[in-house]
Copies of this chain bind each other. A is one copy, B any other.
């Protein structure tokens, strides 16, 4: 995952343009993404796909010697995204309203955008701003805004049913590592994992520009949305913080229960938060007209680590073990999604005699009952056709994995009937 992140880091991405396409092409080397192109001007719900933005160069140069004091070639964060082309000489006073800095972090360059309002600007370290003398500057932004396309990538992995699990990550941020690239890397590797495992559900992985990308996808798939049984937005999955899960708008969706259960049994420290209508693309998936069962998995959430949306969100912020742990949690979530089902005991009246089936110790009177035997007793007690395995795991306090193993042992000895092999 680190290799993918490192390769993607320097690319100048935005919500449209060639950097975005290049990003998708790199991901395609790992998983067989389909790349979709939506023309500028297309209406998507209440929005319109904007003009395509591409940029070749940009700088602020001293008027006297032409030395670049701000240079796009150093980092693409220097330019406000969607800046219109500029080629002018102006005083510092004229230039000043177009300069963005972070006074509290004078060495960091902020990340700023102006997708839907005509504007242009530069982002720079506050320390560098203070060192600018009052003299004429040559300001150049060699960009163009022209009819083109919005690009996004989609990977559909069909399952036994068209009931679908959605994973969505945004791919529109330029040289930002945790916010953007960590989500892309984890989603890519999760997709490879799902491709290799037996699965009942269909899976859709979306690699999309934030907001306008999810809106475009939703607008084009309104009829397929009813198939989405569970979903997660993935971002900020590589830092050193613990996992934070943000619930779906429903709050009690199956995905909310599943993630909570997995986190509770994974590590002592994690956070579960209620839905709020701000953040990443869960804002769109959970808008009232869709209200999809889509939560969001991050480590430290957007806006809550100091480096957020600045040049300090670079490769040094990413911990390989953070990425690996995030992927491990997602695999466990997929295991519960795939493994959950409802059973009915064939011997609901009294306990079945487990001893003669080899599922119970033969010498009685012991003080403590082994955990795997407790799991078997719980499954038998709750296998009434009304409790799913996840219900049993929650009620017993045992892990889903332990309950799942017990259910398999009971199926093998013919003590359980499947009520549904679809988990719902």
Contact = CB atoms under 8 A, between A and B. Distances in A.
B309 A218 contact: no
A206 to B, nearest CB: 14
A115 to B, nearest CB: 7
Interface in A329-343: none
Contacts of A117: 355, 362-363
Given A278-B377, A367-B308, A362 B119 contact: yes
A284 B369 contact: no
B355 A116 contact: yes
Contacts of A381: 249, 277, 283, 286-288
Contact of A112 (B222, B277, B347, B364): B364
Interface in A263-320: 274, 276-278, 283-284, 286-291, 303, 308-309
B350 A287 contact: yes
Interface in A343-359: 345, 347-353, 355-356
B45 A349 contact: yes
Contacts of A352: 46
A365 B115 CA distance: 11
A369 B47 contact: no
A215 interface: yes
Given A117-B355, A277-B377, A289 B349 contact: yes
Nearest to A380: B277
A138 interface: no
A377 B353 CA distance: 54
A368 interface: yes
A374 interface: yes
Contacts of A349: 45-46, 218-219, 222, 287, 289-290
Given A283-B351, A365-B110, A367-B308, A383 B115 contact: no
Most buried by B among A111, A219, A366, A374: A366
A308 B368 CA distance: 11
Given A277-B380, A365-B112, A381-B277, A351 B284 contact: yes
A215 B151 CA distance: 66
Interface residues of A, number: 67
Contact of A113 (B114, B364, B383): B364
Contacts of A112: 363-365
B350 A284 contact: yes
A101 to B, nearest CB: 13
A378 interface: yes
Nearest to A215: B350
A396 B133 CA distance: 47
Nearest to A288: B384
Interface in A90-136: 100, 110-117, 119, 121
A382 interface: yes
Contacts of A303: 367-368
A365 B384 CA distance: 52
A300 to B, nearest CB: 13
A365 B113 contact: yes
A60 interface: no
B116 A350 contact: no
A393 interface: no
A80 interface: yes
Contacts of A382: 288
Interface of A: 44-47, 80-81, 100, 110-117, 119, 121, 211, 214-215, 218-219, 222, 249, 274, 276-278, 283-284, 286-291, 303, 308-309, 345, 347-353, 355-356, 362-369, 374, 377-378, 380-384, 395-396
21 contacts: A45-B347, A45-B349, A45-B350, A100-B363, A112-B363, A114-B364, A116-B353, A116-B355, A116-B356, A218-B349, A276-B374, A276-B396, A277-B377, A278-B374, A283-B351, A283-B381, A284-B351, A287-B350, A288-B383, A289-B350, A308-B367
- What are the 5 A-B residue pairs with the smallest beta carbon separation, nearest first? A289-B348, A289-B349, A277-B381, A117-B362, A288-B384
